[in-house]
Amino acid sequence: MSEFTDTVEKKLVSYLPEADNEDIQRLVSSMEYSLMAGGKRVRPMLTVEFAKLCGGSEEAAMPFACALEMIHTYSLIHDDLPCMDNDDLRRGKPTNHKVYGEATALLAGNGLLTRAFGVLVSDEAVRLNGYEKCAKAVRVLSECAGVNGMLGGQMIDLESEGKGADVEHLKVMDNKKTGALIIAAAKLGCISAGAGEEQISAACEYASDIGLAFQIIDDMLDVTSTTEELGKPVGSDNENEKSTYAALLGLEECRRLAEELTNKAVSALEIFGGSAEQLRNFAVYLLNREK
């Protein structure tokens, strides 16, 4: 993971736009600040691993992986704004708006969002994948990041505050808010490799299961961990009157459910045979993470 993180971060920087004006450079710096603020790089890793698993290459999948990470980063910048979660810390560093101001942070998120689609159809992406695959990637990412994907999940989250949502409601929300981009990661890797429908279906099942397990573990860590360990405020779900798996089910049941989802994810990889070992190990790694 460490070696892959170094590789993807070098590519991410290379895809940032060049400012042709001193004032605009502040915007690019704001984009880079959040894009390079650390993180697990879960989504780009999944894109590259599924591409390789389906007979593709890391090189060809990398533009898709980086575009997805830009979308993810933009969502975090906007999530942290005072009008949303109003957080001061992200990945152990001050949030974007605390460093650059709310207006610039808003534009930085918009800049990463729009740049992501440019990367999907960049000369490099087209050369490595062809026009048809790039067009499919644009459609998948726009759907997964849009109103019936990540954005829809965020809206459900906002509308649910203080209303005592049940577990099924949370699953719907998280399958969109968190799960949609993780599913996009798997799909983009499959698209780059020219995978068949059976492979794509299995990849989506795996991604959906680990996405929900990921969110359940997040809820648990919000209760059991510390701000120093997580690099972001803990206890904020309770302060914002949000229903969580931890609050509704308790930690023991949360752990059982997360393990069940992880086992389902691993089972979904059976069609790939022994070559999927890295993704099996990754599902277990996410289940046992402590930050």
pTM: 0.93
The per-residue pLDDT for 40 is 87
Helix H, strand E, coil C: the string for the chain is: CHHHHHHHHHHHHHHCCCCCCHHHHHHHHHHHHHHCCCCCCHHHHHHHHHHHHCCCCHHHHHHHHHHHHHHHHHHHHHHHCCCCCCCCEECCEECHHHHHCHHHHHHHHHHHHHHHHHHHCCHHHHHHHCHHHHHHHHHHHHHHHCCCCHHHHHHHHHHHCCCCCCHHHHHHHHHHHCHHHHHHHHHHHHHHHCCCHHHHHHHHHHHHHHHHHHHHHHHHHHHHCCHHHHCCCCCHHHHCCCCCHHHHHCHHHHHHHHHHHHHHHHHHHHHHHHHHHHHHHHHHHHHCCCC
Indicate which CATH number applies to the domain containing 144. 1.10.600.10
Give the tokens for residue 227: 């701000």
The per-residue pLDDT for 237 is 61
Number of domains in the chain: 1
- The domain in which residue 134 lies consists of 2-287
Q: What is the dihedral of CA 230, 15, 124, 57, to 10 degrees?
A: -20
Give the tokens for residue 277: 């070992």
CA distance 115 to 37: 18
Residue 265 vs residues 49, 77, 213: alpha-carbon distances, Å:
15, 29, 10
Question: In degrees rounded to 5, what are phi and psi of residue 202?
Answer: -65, -40
CA distance 48 to 60: 9
Reference 51, options 121, 141, 133; nearest CA is 133
The per-residue pLDDT for 236 is 59
CA distance 72 to 144: 11
- 30 within 8 A of 110, measured Cβ to Cβ: no
Give the length of the chain.
291
Reference 121, options 32, 31, 15, 204; nearest CA is 15
Mean pLDDT for back-to-back runs of 10 residues, the chain (291 residues): 87 95 94 94 96 97 98 97 93 95 98 98 98 98 97 93 87 95 98 97 97 94 76 61 86 95 97 91 91 76
